[in-house]
Structure 1
């Protein structure tokens, strides 16, 4: 193997190690996962937190999000996506390896079409799974070089995923 290939392999391995995806997976409890997600939601600000919760946890469409934020529907969707991107960047910079590995597992399960609560630590709430599904999509969008969990899910596919997680379908 050439020196160039060895350096490239080393760079990929170091990124995966930074994300907690090399070696044994870090154990994270449901309480620790919920606590870390709650802290990150509070760190992005109240308006962004409201947009993320309404759009990606409560599953409101653009019209419901617009009513909650008191803005027009097209602006509401943009605000929701920007808020989620802000949260995803925070996960990349300040998130624990356990949180990042949970997001990666959920993202992989999402791509295979088998998203269930078994992707999370035992005792995790369905709302956490909904947020992690949205975060896996946002992480691919904001940092494609740092997280290799697959293709982006189209916004039109989000609602069925959220409904399936909540057992509505």
Structure 2
């Protein structure tokens, strides 16, 4: 289902552009909010996980403190001949540099050790979107599972061969 992810991404955009109160209201009134009382336990628990994940995201974004520069920044990245569309949910000002953040709402939890491979395409996307930029990190934030890893930009780029092999095998 795409509804929970679509609504959660819209809430993240609203949080960064309008604040936490309107974003919480939006998510609570969306299908996700309605589904928290669904008669199907799986639907209800999945919706509650998204709501809880959004509350977690708000808390950790506030603690992070970096300001949003752009939302939904997209680039097509070529990894050794394979093209992949990479969307950074949030690009952040990080002092004199930039950082990227990818917010995941579905799928299984991930092990922090694989975060640099996950961040690779997004690190390349930052370079495409801001060719003269300096970059610090790419954050992989799995909001539904309430886990985040900030990957140094150079560490993500160092995984290009591994990420390329994964995409080639798909």
Please give the range of the TM-score, normalised by the shorter of the 2 chains.
under 0.3
The structure, 1 or 2, with the larger RCO (C-alpha pairs under 8 Å, 6+ apart) is 1
Q: Give the structure with the higher percent strand.
A: 2
